[in-house]
Amino acid sequence: MKNIKLTVAYDGTDFFGFQSQAGTGLPTIQETLEDAIYKLTGERLSVEGSGRTDTGVHAWGQAVNFHTESTIPPERWRPALIPYLPESIVVRRSEEAAPGFHARFSAKEKTYIYQFYRGETPSPFYRRFAYHVPYSLDTAAMAEATSLFEGEHDFRAFCAAGAKTKSFVREIFSCALEEEKPLLRLTVRGSGFLWHMVRIIAGTVLEAGAGKRRPEEIPVLLGLGDRTRAGVTLPPQGLILHSVEY
């Protein structure tokens, strides 16, 4: 029995999120990976992801693992799976992991990117991977607001209502904004994330850029812990799970 780890990139546009929705017929990343492995090996096994990306959210470096009886050498899983996967899911790397490795529980750090596309009109080239902002932005205010999320905080104001969690405390190691025209990228690296957390942070930062709030409000919002006071949840297409560290 081998424990195989895959690093997977996907265009989440046409999937109903990562997690399999058994019986619904809705395509998910997890099910598509499990089906590809079944077609390759005949094994019906369960793939664990580092986390569940929502409908429409993308990944560049999602990590998954599974236990297999197959004798396929670890590094050969990558090319072997290609014929069984759609072009929207790419296995970038395959390797053997320690027996106790678990994509979700072993994760130490994750990096998410939220992409804004700046242009007067939307772009057909970025519509799947960025949120279109047609109005002018104060990027200095956005950068300031962004940096104020760094550190250990109670993020309940930046978590979707109804999320089940024991603690809302998370540590953001870095939160930065960079412009790479025509994109504006918010990169957040942290120990873990609450449901919709990056999309709400991005929404709040965007409101600072639009002059609807001042950057100094961020510590206040974190202190209040009131979801209704923080920014809107931006749509999923701008969000990319960039990498997971172990």
Q: Which residues are catalytic?
A: 54
Query: Binding mask 118-137 vs its own copies (x if CB under 8 A, - otherwise)?
Result: --xxxxxx-x-x--------
Q: How many CA atoms lie within 13 A of 147 on its CB side?
A: 7
Q: Considering the complex, state which of residue 134 and residue 223 has its C-beta at the smaller distance from its own copies.
A: 134
Using alpha carbons, select from 106, 109, 18, 100 the residue that is nearest to residue 56: 18
Nearer to its own copies, 10 or 158 (CB): 10
- Candidates 36, 89, 97, 137: give the one binding its own copies (CB under 8 A): 89
Query: How many amino acids of this chain bind its own copies (CB under 8 A)?
Result: 21
Q: Measured from the CB atom, is 122 or 225 closer to its own copies?
A: 122
Q: Per-residue string for binding with its own copies, 92-111, x by CB under 8 A? A: xx------------------
Binders in 16-45 for its own copies, by CB under 8 A: none
Distance in Å, CB of 245 to its own copies, minimum: 20
User: 190: helix, coil or strand?
Assistant: strand
Q: Are 103 and 33 in contact (CB under 8 A)?
A: no
Q: Does 83 bind its own copies (CB under 8 A)?
A: no
Mark the segment that binds its own copies (CB under 8 A) among 90-98, 101-109, 206-214, 217-225: 90-98
Which one among 2, 52, 67, 78 touches its own copies, defined by CB under 8 A?
A: 78
Q: Is 11 in the site for its own copies (CB under 8 A)?
A: yes
Classify residue 239 by burial, with Cβ atoms within 10 Å: 0-12, 13-18, 19+. buried
Please name the residues in contact with 83: beta carbons below 8 A apart, sequence gap of 6 or more: none
Phi-psi region of 184 (alpha: psi -120 to 50; beta: other; left: phi over 0): beta
User: What distance, in Å, lies between the first and last C-alpha atoms of the chain?
Assistant: 21
**Residues counted in the chain:** 246
Q: Is 55 exposed, middle or buried (0-12, 13-18, 19+ CB in 10 A)?
A: middle
Which one, 123 or 136, has the nearer CB to its own copies?
Answer: 123
Q: Restricting to residues 55-74, which ones interact with its own copies according to CB under 8 A?
A: 58, 60
Whole-number minimum distance, CB 119 to its own copies, in Å? 9
Q: Answer yes or no whether residue 246 interacts with its own copies by CB under 8 A.
A: no
Q: Does 76 bind its own copies (CB under 8 A)?
A: no
Strand-pair category, 58-68 with 239-245: parallel
| Residue 114, C-beta contacts closer than 8 angstroms, at least 6 positions apart | 131, 185, 186, 188, 198, 199, 201, 202, 234, 238, 239, 240
Q: Which residues bind its own copies (CB under 8 A)?
A: 9-11, 58, 60, 78, 87-93, 120-125, 127, 129
